[in-house]
Amino acid sequence: MNNINVFYKKRFLMKRGTTPTLKFLVPYKVDEIASGYITISRGGNIFKDFELSDSRVSIEDGAILLSLTQEDTLDFNSRVNYSVQLRLILANGDVKASNIITFNVGPILKNGLI
């Protein structure tokens, strides 16, 4: 059984207004991945959903990376917990999912883009 792992520090804290990259470690090569989604939820509801074809997503052998923009992270609320999960459809038709990772978002003093 192949597992998908989310690469993150022991305590995952994203800051609003920054440009973090979420890295999912996968045991697949690029040509083995047909499609998929990275979903971020808030309070049990989908908050943001990124298809692997999104320009902010890059796929390489062994990893899938999601680069969030300042606009993306400014949409987050620092008083709410979020969860993220990667789901994949492989070229052979198998469907895989990462564990759900919960994270917090830290505040910033000055709101807006820089």
Angle at 1 between CA 56 and CA 24, to 5 degrees: 20
Count Cβ atoms within 10 A of the Cβ of residue 112 and give its class: 0-12 exposed, 13-18 middle, 19 or more buried: exposed
pLDDT in tens, the chain (114 residues): 456 665 554 456 889 999 999 999 999 999 999 999 999 999 889 999 999 999 999 999 999 999 999 999 999 999 899 999 999 999 999 999 998 989 999 999 999 999
How do the domains of the chain map onto residue ranges? 5-106
pTM: 0.88
Asked: is 5-106 a CATH 1.10.132.20 domain? The reply is no
If DSSP codes are grouped into helix, strand and coil, which group holds residue 95? strand
Region of residue 71 (phi > 0: left; psi between -120 and 50: alpha; otherwise: beta):
alpha
If DSSP codes are grouped into helix, strand and coil, which group holds residue 6? strand
